[in-house]
Amino acid sequence: MTTRRQFLHAMGLTATGLALYSCNVGKPPTAQLSEAALAVEPVVDPKTLEKPNITVGYVPVNDCAPFAVAYEKGFFRKYGLNVTLSREASWANSRDGIIFGRLDASPVVSGAVTNARIGAEGARKAPLCAAMTIHRHGNAMTMNKAMWDYGLRPWHEYNGNLEEFGRDFRGYFDALPPEQRIWAVVLSSAIYEYFARYLSAAAGVDPIQEFRIIIIPPPQMVNNIRIGAMQAYMVAEPWNTRAITGNENVGFTFAQGSEIWYGHPDRLLGVMESFINENPKTYRSLVKAMIEACQYCSNPANRPEVAQLITDPSFTGAKPKKGAIDKFTKPGIVGDYNYGGFDNQQRIISDPYTTIFYDSPPKLSC
């Protein structure tokens, strides 16, 4: 178990890593439009749009896929848009980039629009709008090896026995010193924090009094759980799969978000109300391009290609040093999902609804 000295050292490394990572805010991807994209004939004349040249953000997680596809396949170009993509270091940067006008549009976590409207979570009070849902599901909870060693296992192995899980979860957290009772999420308005609090409360651990939730950008999750900055985290793929594959092997997937709330929304396309009012034609073109890209990502025949596309350093940059190029991104896109573990057992579940970019899953209750 991590000592207090190791923990404080880890938190110092975390702060340094975050400072360095924030330097990447707003840097454009290195990818250039492909010949295929350039060959697309626009069905909308750019001259008819109020603002044909726009900047669109994305965050390096699997749900950047529709943005990558719209860019690489020429869907933006098809609808008269000349888009500059901007890689954002965190979900807070993505949200604030829209609010302060650096970005015309960008993905935001599901609670960001409401929080911006009321000025909560440190966000400037602003008329942020949700243009569309980019995807459902696509996220998971990762727990560290110490939790595995204590006896915790993936949720499906409890067979719905909340009492048994609660006993394991409660016992593990009771044994920790207070300063190590930490769970990480990407932003407080993300559905991940709601899930973390819901899960802990259901297990008998007070999510307000008995542990702390910290904010970590998605690509920093694996490094931070390795150095002991937190016991568990929830994030979008590929940063759960990354923790259990390759040379990482620092955790296991406890549950996909879909096991907690089937059909939940995760990412929204954020735009300012003023952008919609001042650029209605541009706004419609943007939404059309993104819907078409989501449809492309949703097609099972396209998913292997999409999983490979987003491994590019311009997007997630999640390329393994060895093995298949899409080893980290494929499980969350194609749906052959590996929960990992430290007992050499295979825990791969085939689920085409691991991430949903367009169609609603079957048996969805609203």
pLDDT at 22 > cutoff 60 = no
Per-residue confidence (pLDDT) for residue 13, from 0 to 100: 43
The predicted-structure confidence for 58-98, as pLDDT tens digits, reads as follows 999 999 999 999 999 999 999 999 999 999 999 999 999 99
Mean pLDDT score, 291-302: 96
pLDDT score recorded for residue 155: 97
Q: Which pLDDT score is estimated for 34?
A: 76
Of 125-129, 248-252, 323-327, 350-354, the least confident: 323-327
Mean pLDDT over 219-236 rounds to 96
In what helix (H) or strand (E) does residue 86 lie, and over which residues does it extend? strand 82-87
Mean of the pLDDT values across residues 294-301? 96
Query: Which pLDDT score, from 0 to 100, does residue 343 have?
Result: 92
pLDDT of residue 132: 97
CB-CB contact of 181 with 212 (8 Å): yes
Q: Provide the residue ranges of all domains of the chain, joining segments of one domain with +.
A: 15-136+264-309
Mean pLDDT within 40-54: 96
Q: Which of 49, 57, 51, 50 is nearest to 84 (CA)?
A: 57
Answer whether 164's CB lies under 8 Å from 358's CB. Answer: no
Interval 185-213 mean pLDDT: 93
At 362 the pLDDT is 67
Q: What is the mean pLDDT of residues 321-338?
A: 86
Q: What is the pLDDT of residue 365?
A: 55
Q: Among 25-29, 103-107, 215-219, where is mean pLDDT lowest?
A: 25-29
Of residues 283 and 365, more confidence is placed in 283
Q: pLDDT confidence of 29, banded at 50, 70, 90?
A: low
Burial annotation 197-208 (CB, 10 A radius, 16+ → b, else e):
bebbeebebebe
How much is the pTM?
A: 0.88
Strand partners, 251: 144
Task: Check: CB of residue 361 under 8 Å from CB of residue 263.
Answer: yes
Which one-letter DSSP state was computed for residue 338? E
Identify the CATH number of the domain defined by range 15-136+264-309: 3.40.190.10
Tell me the percentage of the chain whose pLDDT exceeds 90: 78
* CB hemisphere CA count around 57 (13 angstroms): 32
DSSP run (H or E) holding 87: strand 82-87
Burial class (CB in 10 A: 0-12, 13-18, 19+), 361: middle
* 110-144 per-position pLDDT tens digit: 999 999 999 887 768 999 999 999 999 999 999 99
pLDDT of residue 20: 36
Burial of 255 (0-12, 13-18, 19+ CB in 10 A): buried
- Rounded CA gap, 211 and 144, in Å? 16
pLDDT digits (tens, 9 = 90+) for 301-315: 999 999 999 999 889
CA–CA dist 244, 338 (Å, integer): 8
Most confident stretch, 50-54, 203-207, 258-262: 50-54
Is the separation of the CB atoms in 50 and 282 below 8 Å? Answer: yes
pLDDT at residue 194 above 60? yes
